[in-house]
C-alpha cells in the first residue's frame, strides 16, 4: 500500500484536478477494514442511491425480506452483494418471533402446516404480524427450520454476524395448542389458563420467557458452530426493546438473562420515538415524556451489558411506525438522540432502521393536515448531520451532571405481572417502576438502572450509593440475588425498599414459599438475610456498615397523585446524605454532558425550575440544518441541544471537517490545499462546516467523472474560522478542494 500512496501523491501533482477526483472516488469502493463496525443500519432492500447513508455496516434483513416491505425480485445473496459492492460490511438480521416464514407455516418446507404454532389469545384469535405471519411459539421444529433454511444459508453467503431480533411473546397470548404442549413438557403437568389465577399467569409468562431464552441459545449455538466449520468467527446479537418498554407494552422476552449466554455477543437497544412516547404518570398526570422515558430505556439496556463487557448498539429512528407529522418526528428524534448520547460509555449505534421508509415514505406535512410528502430537505440534512456525528462519536470518561449514585433495581419478572389484572391490583402504565425513577429524574438526578439478574457481579453495584427497589411489580427468580444484595448493604450500601407486599403475585408458587422456605413474600427472605424480622414495619434498619429503609407504600403511589412523592424524596435524600454519605443530593432541571468536542444538554419540564440552560462559547448547532455558529445557546424546558464546541478543537491550524450532512473520505492537506471526497444519499442536501487556518481563496467541486459541479453556496465565519459549504449530495461522491 505504501507504493500506491506514493503514486497517488505524485499523480496529484502530475495530472489535472479532474483526474484526481475520479481516482479518489473509485478508491472508496473498497470494503472498510475488518472490525470497523461502529455504525450500522438495517434494510430489507438492495442498495439504492437514495438510501446510501454511509454507515459502516448494512444489516441485510431476512432471507425473504421483511413482512412490512415488498422485495422486488432480488435474492438475499443479490441484496448482500449490492451493498458490498458499495463498500459496506454486510451482516444479517431476521425476527426470531416473526418473519417471512410462510414456507414453514403453509407446509412448503416439511410438508406439514404449522399455523397452529402461532401465539393465540384467550378468544382463540392468533396474534398476527402480517399475512400468514403469526407471532410464533418457538417449537423445536420451528427452530430446526430457522437453522436450516435461514441461518445456514446466510453463513454460506459469507455473513459473519447474525442478529435475531425481538424475541417476543405477548402476555395476552398463551392459549394455543403448541403452547399447551410446551407447558406439559416444561412443567410436566397439564396446561392451566393464565386468566384463572395470578399463579397461572406467573407460570405462563415464566414459560414464555424460557422458550425464547432456549430458542436464542439453540439458534446462536448452531450458528457459531456452523460458522466455525466455514472458517468464520461468527458474532451473534439480539436487537430488542428495553425491559422498560416490553413491561409497559405487556410483552415477555428474555432480556438481561441472555447476557449470561456465551453465544450472545451483544445487543441492539431498540429505543425510538415509538417506544419512548408511551405515556407514564408523574405528579398525578399521565402523558408522553419522551426524553425521560428514552433515558430510562437506554439506561436499562446499558446496565444489561455494563458488568459483562458485551457490545451494545444504541438505536434511534428519525420517524416511527405510527403515522405522525414531520415536525413531531423531528422533535422526538432530538429527544431520543440526546438521551442515547448521555451514556458516554456506549459509542456504537444503529443510525436508522428501514432507510427506504425514511427517505422515500410519505408522511403528514403537519398535525392538522392530511397532505403527505417525502422527508423535507431541511430534516434529511439535519438527520445526516446527526448520524455522521455518530460515525465519529467518542467514548468518554466525562460524566453527566447531577448527583450520582442513586439506582433503580429491575428484574426480568417485571414482564410477568402485567396482564391480566388479578384481584383488582393494577399497576397503570408501569407506575411501580416510574414511581421510583421519575421523582428523581425529573429533579435532574441521573438515576441508573441495576438488573437483579446481574447483582452477583460486583461491578453491577460498584457505583451505587442508594438502591431503590420494590417487589410490588416483580419477583426474584432465585434466592441467590438476595445474598448479593445483603452483602452489598453489609459493606456500606443503602437500600430503600418501597412496597406494601400485598399484590396478588406475592403468593405464587415459587422458591420463597416452597420446599424448606415458608415466607409470605420474597422481601421477607431478603430482610431475614440482613437480620430484619419478617413483615417489618416502616422505618430504618442498620445492617453491618449499611442501612435499610423500608417504606410501606407501593411506588405507584408516589406518581399517581399530585405531590405524592414528597415523603419518598425526603427519605431518599436523608439516606443519601446521612447514611450513604454521598454528598448533598442536588436538584435541578437540566442535564449536561461534555463528550469529546460535543456538548449535550437537556432541560426538563415539570421540574424544580422553569429557567433555561445557557451555555456560552463558540458552538456549531448540530440540530440546525444550517449549522449556525453561536456564541450563546439558550435551551428551554422540554428542549434538547446538540452542539459542537469549537473551543475544544485541539489543533485549530489543521484543516478539518467539524460537522457535515455527508461522510467525508480521503482527507488530504497539501500546500495550503484541503481536499476530500463527500458521499451521502441522492436527493439530499449537504451542509458542512470546515475549520481552516484562514479564509478560503477558492473552493471547487467535481463529480466522479471529473466534471465540474455548479450550484455550491459558500460563506466564511471569522469567529469560528469555519467555512460553510452547501451543495447537493451524491452517493458516487463529490470531490471537494479548498485552497486557503
Q: How far apart are CA 479 and CA 453, in angstroms?
A: 11
Strand partners, 268: 239, 313
Rg of the chain, C-alpha, whole Å: 27
Residues 6+ apart with CB under 8 A from 671: none
Q: For residue 44, count other CB atoms closer than 10 A to its CB.
A: 24
Q: Is the pLDDT of residue 371 over 60?
A: yes
* 428 grid coordinates: 397503570
Least confident of 123-137, 332-346, 630-644: 123-137
% of the chain beyond a pLDDT of 70? 95
Q: Report pLDDT for 35.
A: 53
Which letter does DSSP use for residue 614 in this model? E
Mean predicted confidence (pLDDT) in 315-337: 97
Mean predicted confidence (pLDDT) in 241-253: 98
With CA atoms as reference, report the closest residue to 204 among 196, 218, 212, 193: 193
Cβ atoms of 682 and 669 within 8 Å: the answer is: no
Residues 6+ apart with CB under 8 A from 369: 325
User: Tens digit of pLDDT for each residue in 642-660?
Assistant: 999 999 999 999 999 999 9
Cβ atoms of 271 and 340 within 8 Å: the answer is: yes
Q: For residue 711, count other CB atoms closer than 10 A to its CB.
A: 8
User: Tens digit of pLDDT for each residue in 195-222?
Assistant: 999 999 999 999 999 999 999 999 999 9
With CA atoms as reference, report the closest residue to 271 among 323, 211, 343, 220: 343
Q: Which stretches does DSSP call E strand in 210-364?
A: 235-240, 251-252, 266-269, 280-282, 285-287, 311-315, 348-353, 363-364
Q: Report pLDDT for 18.
A: 37
Q: Is the pLDDT of residue 25 over 70?
A: no
Domain boundary among 238, 266, 298: 238
Q: For residue 683, count other CB atoms closer than 10 A to its CB.
A: 16
User: Tens digit of pLDDT for each residue in 590-620?
Assistant: 999 999 999 999 999 999 999 999 999 999 9
Cβ burial of 333 (10 Å; 0-12, 13-18, 19+) is buried
The pairing of beta strand 128-130 with beta strand 133-134: antiparallel
User: Tens digit of pLDDT for each residue in 58-98?
Assistant: 999 999 888 777 777 789 999 999 999 999 999 999 999 99
The pairing of beta strand 590-595 with beta strand 598-603: antiparallel
Question: DSSP labels for 631-648?
Answer: EEEEE-TTEEEEEEEGGG
In a domain, 110, yes or no: yes
Instruction: Name the CA dihedral angle for 641, 642, 646, 647, rounded to a multiple of 10 degrees.
Output: 60
SS3 labels along 77-95: HHHHHHHHCCCCEEEEEEE
User: Structural domain tally of the chain?
Assistant: 2
Q: Report pLDDT for 670.
A: 93
Split at pLDDT 50, 70, 90, the class of 458 is: confident
Q: Give the position of cell 399475512.
A: 131
Q: Report pLDDT for 11.
A: 32
* 718 grid coordinates: 471569522
Cβ atoms of 585 and 608 within 8 Å: the answer is: no
Cα-flanking dihedrals φ and ψ of residue 546, to 5°? -110, -170
* 480 grid coordinates: 441467590
* 712 grid coordinates: 455550491
Q: Is the pLDDT of residue 15 over 70?
A: no
Cβ burial of 231 (10 Å; 0-12, 13-18, 19+) is exposed
**CATH number of the domain within which 509 lies:** 3.40.50
Split at pLDDT 50, 70, 90, the class of 4 is: very low
- What distances in angstroms separate CA 402 from CA 255, 587, 588, 612, one per listed residue? 28, 8, 8, 16
Cβ atoms of 735 and 702 within 8 Å: the answer is: yes
In a domain, 250, yes or no: no
* 674 grid coordinates: 484541503
Domain boundary among 523, 548, 579: 579
* Helix boundaries (H) for 553-710: 566-574
Q: Report pLDDT for 31.
A: 37
In a domain, 628, yes or no: no
Range of the domain at 558: 406-579
Helix, strand, coil proportions of the chain in percent (round to 5)? Answer: 35, 25, 40
Q: How far apart are CA 737 and CA 349, in angstroms?
A: 30
Question: Maximum Cα–Cα distance for the chain, whole Å?
Answer: 87
In a domain, 643, yes or no: no
In a domain, 338, yes or no: no
In a domain, 546, yes or no: yes
Least confident of 20-34, 174-188, 338-352, 678-692: 20-34
In a domain, 447, yes or no: yes
Q: How far apart are CA 259 and CA 267, in angstroms?
A: 9
Half-sphere exposure of 325 (CA within 13 A, CB side): 10
Q: How far apart are CA 457 and CA 326, in angstroms?
A: 44
Cα-flanking dihedrals φ and ψ of residue 704, to 5°? -65, -20
Domain boundary among 185, 215, 238: 238
Q: Report pLDDT for 1.
A: 40
Cβ burial of 396 (10 Å; 0-12, 13-18, 19+) is middle
In a domain, 732, yes or no: no
Cβ atoms of 437 and 569 within 8 Å: the answer is: no
Split at pLDDT 50, 70, 90, the class of 332 is: very high
Amino acid at each position: 500500500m505504501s507504493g500506491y500512496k506514493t503514486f497517488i501523491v505524485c499523480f496529484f501533482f502530475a495530472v489535472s484536478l479532474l483526474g484526481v477526483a475520479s481516482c479518489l472516488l473509485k478508491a472508496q469502493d473498497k470494503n472498510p477494514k475488518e472490525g470497523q463496525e461502529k455504525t450500522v443500519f438495517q434494510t430489507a432492500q438492495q442498495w439504492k442511491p437514495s438510501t446510501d447513508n454511509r454507515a459502516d455496516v448494512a444489516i441485510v434483513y431476512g432471507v425473504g425480506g421483511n413482512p412490512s416491505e415488498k422485495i422486488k425480485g432480488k435474492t438475499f445473496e443479490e441484496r448482500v452483494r449490492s451493498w458490498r459492492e458499495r463498500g459496506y460490511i454486510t451482516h444479517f438480521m431476521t425476527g426470531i418471533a416473526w418473519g417471512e416464514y410462510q414456507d414453514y407455516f403453509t407446509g412448503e418446507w416439511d410438508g406439514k402446516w404449522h399455523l397452529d404454532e402461532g401465539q393465540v389469545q384467550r378468544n382463540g384469535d392468533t396474534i398476527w404480524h402480517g399475512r400468514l405471519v403469526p407471532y410464533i411459539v418457538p417449537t423445536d421444529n420451528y427452530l430446526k427450520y430457522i437453522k436450516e433454511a435461514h441461518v445456514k444459508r446466510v453463513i454460506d453467503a459469507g455473513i459473519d454476524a447474525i442478529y435475531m431480533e425481538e424475541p417476543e411473546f405477548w402476555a395476552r397470548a398463551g392459549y394455543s395448542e403448541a403452547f399447551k404442549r410446551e407447558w406439559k413438557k416444561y412443567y410436566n403437568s397439564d396446561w392451566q389458563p393464565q386468566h384463572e389465577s395470578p399463579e397461572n399467569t406467573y407460570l405462563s409468562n415464566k414459560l414464555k420467557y424460557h422458550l425464547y431464552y432456549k430458542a436464542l441459545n439453540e439458534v446462536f449455538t448452531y450458528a457459531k458452530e456452523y460458522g466455525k466449520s466455514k472458517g468464520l468467527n461468527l458474532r451473534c446479537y439480539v436487537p430488542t426493546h428495553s425491559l422498560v418498554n416490553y413491561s409497559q407494552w405487556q410483552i415477555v422476552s428474555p432480556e438481561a438473562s441472555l447476557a449470561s449466554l456465551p453465544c450472545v455477543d451483544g445487543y441492539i437497544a431498540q429505543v425510538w420515538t415509538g417506544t419512548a412516547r408511551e405515556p407514564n404518570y408523574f405528579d398525578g398526570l399521565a402523558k408522553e415524556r419522551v426524553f425521560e422515558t428514552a433515558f430510562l430505556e437506554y439506561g436499562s439496556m446499558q446496565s444489561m451489558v455494563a458488568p459483562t463487557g458485551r457490545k451494545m448498539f444504541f438505536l434511534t429512528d428519525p420517524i416511527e411506525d405510527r403515522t405522525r407529522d414531520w415536525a413531531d418526528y423531528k422533535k422526538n428524534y432530538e429527544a431520543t438522540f440526546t438521551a442515547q448520547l448521555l451514556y458516554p460509555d456506549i459509542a456504537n449505534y444503529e443510525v436508522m432502521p428501514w432507510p427506504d421508509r425514511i427517505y422515500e415514505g410519505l408522511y403528514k406535512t403537519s398535525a392538522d393536515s392530511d397532505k403527505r410528502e417525502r422527508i423535507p430537505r431541511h430534516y434529511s440534512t439535519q438527520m445526516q448531520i446527526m448520524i455522521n456525528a455518530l460515525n465519529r462519536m467518542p467514548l468518554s470518561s466525562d460524566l453527566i451532571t447531577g448527583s450520582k449514585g442513586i439506582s433503580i433495581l429491575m428484574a426480568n419478572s417485571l414482564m410477568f405481572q402485567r396482564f391480566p389484572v388479578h384481584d383488582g391490583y393494577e399497576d397503570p402504565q408501569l407506575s411501580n417502576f416510574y414511581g421510583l425513577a421519575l421523582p428523581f429524574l425529573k429533579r435532574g438526578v441521573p438515576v441508573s438502572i441495576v438488573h437483579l439478574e446481574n447483582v452477583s457481579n460486583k461491578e453491577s453495584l460498584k457505583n451505587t450509593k442508594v438502591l431503590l427497589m420494590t417487589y410490588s411489580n416483580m419477583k426474584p427468580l432465585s434466592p441467590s440475588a438476595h445474598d448479593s444484595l445483603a452483602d452489598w448493604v453489609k459493606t456500606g450500601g443503602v437500600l430503600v425498599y418501597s412496597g406494601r407486599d400485598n399484590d396478588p403475585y406475592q403468593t405464587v408458587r415459587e422458591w420463597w414459599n416452597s420446599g424448606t422456605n415458608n415466607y409470605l413474600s420474597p422481601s421477607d427472605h431478603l430482610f431475614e438475610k440482613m437480620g430484619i424480622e419478617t413483615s417489618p414495619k416502616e422505618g430504618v434498619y442498620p445492617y453491618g456498615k449499611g442501612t435499610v429503609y423500608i417504606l410501606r407504600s407501593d411506588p405507584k403511589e408516589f406518581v399517581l397523585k399530585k405531590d405524592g412523592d414528597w415523603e419518598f424524596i425526603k427519605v431518599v435524600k436523608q439516606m443519601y446524605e446521612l447514611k450513604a454519605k454521598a454528598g448533598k443530593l442536588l436538584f435541578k432541571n437540566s442535564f449536561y454532558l461534555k463528550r469529546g468536542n460535543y456538548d449535550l444538554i437537556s432541560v426538563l419540564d415539570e421540574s424544580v425550575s422553569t429557567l433555561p440552560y445557557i451555555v456560552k462559547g463558540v458552538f456549531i448547532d448540530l440540530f440546525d440544518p444550517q449549522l449556525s455558529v453561536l456564541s450563546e445557546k439558550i435551551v428551554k424546558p422540554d428542549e434538547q441541544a446538540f452542539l459542537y464546541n469549537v473551543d475544544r478543537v485541539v489543533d485549530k491550524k489543521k484543516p478539518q471537517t467539524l460537522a457535515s450532512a455527508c461522510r467525508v473520505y480521503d482527507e488530504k492537506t497539501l500546500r495550503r490545499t484541503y481536499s476530500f471526497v463527500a458521499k451521502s444519499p441522492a436527493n439530499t442536501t449537504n451542509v458542512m462546516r470546515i475549520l481552516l487556518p484562514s479564509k478560503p481563496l477558492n473552493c471547487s467541486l467535481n463529480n466522479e467523472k471529473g466534471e465540474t459541479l455548479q450550484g455550491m453556496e459558500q460563506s466564511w465565519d471569522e469567529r469560528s474560522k469555519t467555512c460553510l459549504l452547501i451543495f447537493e449530495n451524491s452517493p458516487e461522491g463529490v470531490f471537494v478542494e479548498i485552497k486557503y
